[in-house]
């Protein structure tokens, strides 16, 4: 398989060492290292179950790459390499889509956020990406995952599934379902943001977990990677998912909810990092939604896990019975702790905004 794929990029497989690489959960990733030369690449197979039209991804990255190299030639943007036929993604005879990227030298990947500075650096990189693309016409981009962060649609889906779930699962999930309805104002808020066009659509990454930033050895942020979900969206998706995944030392897999904590100093690191790049660009209405962003993304993930549990676990892989319910309960706990800190968070956002720059 590698022979043919690498050949489409004008590389001879025998001249390279090929190994599985990284801890990404979506695509399949390999590192390709030259045996007699110093070339290093990343080869990826796009997950077609998730991304139904992989060529839409390549088109987006191509357009963004052209814009960035014209307007910001010094910005480190990891563009896929063109194949011999000129395409940025090739379809192999196995029906799968592959792309080749330059390996970012001396980069490391973090899988958990351990320091404030890492949270700051990541937030700064995601903000920089969106900020540099503020002048790019967002309507030119494809939606690579339709309805991905559409909380209103996800809430409707949750209500549909509640009506048809098995009695046993409804019973076990009773408290979680009550929680979901108790916080439905978060979904209503999202609906009014969409209806009233309160905030602009921007070029948004949509998957701001820490492993999608490459760091240098001093843990300074180098660049954003994993651009499959880059599409039009609201900035609160990116900020909110950082809140969801950076604030607590225990992640969504943790069954012991007492380990879920909100690190307030990490919240201020995200605010400072994000505003260090985006501050002059955010509208007043966007700023007002900074704290809401965390509620949006935590609540959405909670109801996605809960919906999947009620739907007999068709979407997320599970390792034990009730796994998705445990994940949902974990996210509802995180949501409650986040809401408990909301006043402090508002204060942090206004203080950071008012600091002279």
Ligand X SMILES: Nc1ncnc2c1ncn2[C@@H]1O[C@H](COP(=O)(O)OP(=O)(O)O)[C@@H](O)[C@H]1O
Q: Shortest approach of ligand X to residue 88 CB, angstroms?
A: 14
Question: How many Å apart are CA 182 and CA 265, to the nearest integer?
Answer: 28
Instruction: Closer to Mg ion by CB, 246 or 290: give it.
Output: 246
Kindly tell me which of 114 and 171 has the beta carbon lying closer to ligand X: 114
Q: Is 351 exposed, middle or buried (0-12, 13-18, 19+ CB in 10 A)?
A: exposed
Under rule CB under 6 A, residue 122 binds ligand X: no
Return the residue of 43, 61, 78, 269 that touches ligand X, per CB under 6 A. 78
* Contact with ligand X (CB under 6 A) among 13, 18, 24, 232: 24
Q: Is the dihedral of CA 195, 196, 202, 205 positive or negative?
A: negative
> What are the CA-CA distances from residue 334 to residues 254, 257, 261, 282, 331 (Å)?
11, 8, 7, 27, 5
Instruction: Give the distance, in angstroms, between the CA of residue 347 and the centroid of all CA atoms in the same chain.
Output: 26
At a CB cut-off of 8 Å and minimum separation 6, what does 19 contact? 30, 31, 33
Choose the one of ligand X, Mg ion, none that binds residue 29, judging by a C-beta under 5 to 8 angstroms depending on kind. Answer: ligand X
Alpha-helical regions (H) of 133-183: 151-164, 167-172, 174-182
* Closer to Mg ion by Cβ: residue 205 or 295: 205
Is 75 near ligand X (CB under 6 A)? no
CB half-sphere exposure, 15, CA atoms < 13 A: 12
Site for ligand X in 82-101 (CB under 6 A): 101
6 or 275: whose CB is closer to ligand X? 6
Work out how close the CB of 268 gets to ligand X at its nearest, in angstroms, rounded to a whole number. Answer: 26
For residue 301, report the phi and psi dihedrals to the nearest 5 degrees: -65, -35
Burial of 121 (0-12, 13-18, 19+ CB in 10 A): buried
Q: Does 148 bind ligand X (CB under 6 A)?
A: no
The verdict on 260 binding ligand X (CB under 6 A) reads no
Residue 26 engages ligand X in binding (rule: CB under 6 A): yes
Among positions 205-234, residues that touch ligand X (CB under 6 A) are: 211-212, 214, 225-226
- Distance (Å, whole) CA 286 – CA 277: 14
Q: How many CB atoms lie within 10 A of CB 220?
A: 12
Binding site for Mg ion (CB under 5 A): 24, 212, 226
Of 16, 88, 103, 235, the residue at the interface with ligand X (CB under 6 A) is: 103
Six token digits for residue 191: 């609906």
68: helix, coil or strand?
A: helix
The torsion region of residue 245 among left (phi > 0), alpha (psi -120 to 50) and beta comes to alpha
Q: Which residues pair with 293 in a beta bridge?
A: none
Q: Does 22 bind ligand X (CB under 6 A)?
A: yes
Q: At closest approach, how far in Å is the CB of 20 from ligand X?
A: 10
Residues touching ligand X, count (CB under 6 A): 19
Q: What does 260 interact with, of ligand X, Mg ion, none (CB < 5 to 8 A by kind)?
A: none
CB of 230 to ligand X, least distance (A): 12
Q: Does 50 bind ligand X (CB under 6 A)?
A: no
Choice from 2, 13, 21, 59 touching ligand X (CB under 6 A) = 21
| Selected range binding ligand X among 16-24, 90-98, 313-321, 349-357, rule: CB under 6 A | 16-24
- Nearest-approach distance from CB 274 to ligand X, in angstroms: 20
- Taking the least distance from each CB to Mg ion, the nearer of 227 and 306 is 227
Residues forming the site for ligand X (CB under 6 A): 21-22, 24-27, 29, 42, 78, 101, 103-104, 107, 109, 211-212, 214, 225-226
């Amino acid at each position: 398989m590698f022979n043919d794929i690498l050949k489409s990029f004008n590389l001879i497989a025998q001249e390279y060492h090929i190994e599985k690489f990284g801890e990404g959960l979506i695509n399949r990733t390999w590192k390709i290292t030259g045996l007699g030369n110093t070339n290093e690449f990343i080869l990826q197979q796009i997950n077609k179950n998730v991304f139904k039209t992989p060529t839409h991804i390549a088109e987006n990255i191509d357009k963004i790459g052209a814009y960035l190299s014209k307007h910001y030639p010094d910005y480190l943007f990891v563009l896929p390499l063109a194949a011999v036929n000129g395409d940025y993604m090739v379809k192999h005879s196995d029906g799968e889509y592959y792309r080749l990227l330059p390996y970012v030298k001396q980069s490391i990947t973090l899988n958990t956020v351990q320091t404030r500075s890492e949270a700051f650096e990541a937030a700064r990189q995601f903000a920089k990406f969106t900020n540099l693309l503020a002048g790019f016409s967002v309507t030119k981009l494809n939606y690579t995952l339709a309805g991905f962060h559409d909380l209103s649609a996800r809430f409707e889906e949750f209500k549909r599934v509640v009506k048809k779930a098995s009695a046993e699962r409804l019973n076990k999930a009773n408290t979680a379902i009550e929680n979901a309805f108790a916080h439905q104002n978060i979904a209503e808020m999202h609906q009014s943001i969409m209806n009233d066009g309160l905030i602009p659509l921007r070029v948004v990454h949509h998957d701001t977990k820490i492993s999608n930033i490459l760091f240098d050895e001093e843990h300074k942020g180098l660049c954003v990677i994993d651009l499959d979900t880059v599409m039009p969206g609201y900035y609160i998706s990116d900020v909110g998912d950082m809140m969801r995944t950076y604030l607590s030392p225990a992640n969504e897999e943790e069954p012991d909810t007492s380990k879920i904590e909100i690190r307030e100093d990490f919240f201020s690191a995200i605010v400072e990092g994000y505003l260090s790049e985006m501050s002059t660009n955010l509208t007043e209405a966007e700023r007002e939604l900074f704290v809401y962003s965390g509620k949006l993304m935590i609540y959405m993930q909670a109801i996605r896990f809960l919906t999947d549990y009620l739907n007999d676990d068709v979407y997320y892989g599970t390792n034990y019975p009730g796994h998705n319910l445990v994940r949902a309960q974990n996210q509802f706990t995180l949501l409650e702790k986040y809401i408990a800190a909301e006043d402090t968070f508002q204060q942090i956002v206004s203080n950071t905004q008012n600091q002279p720059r």
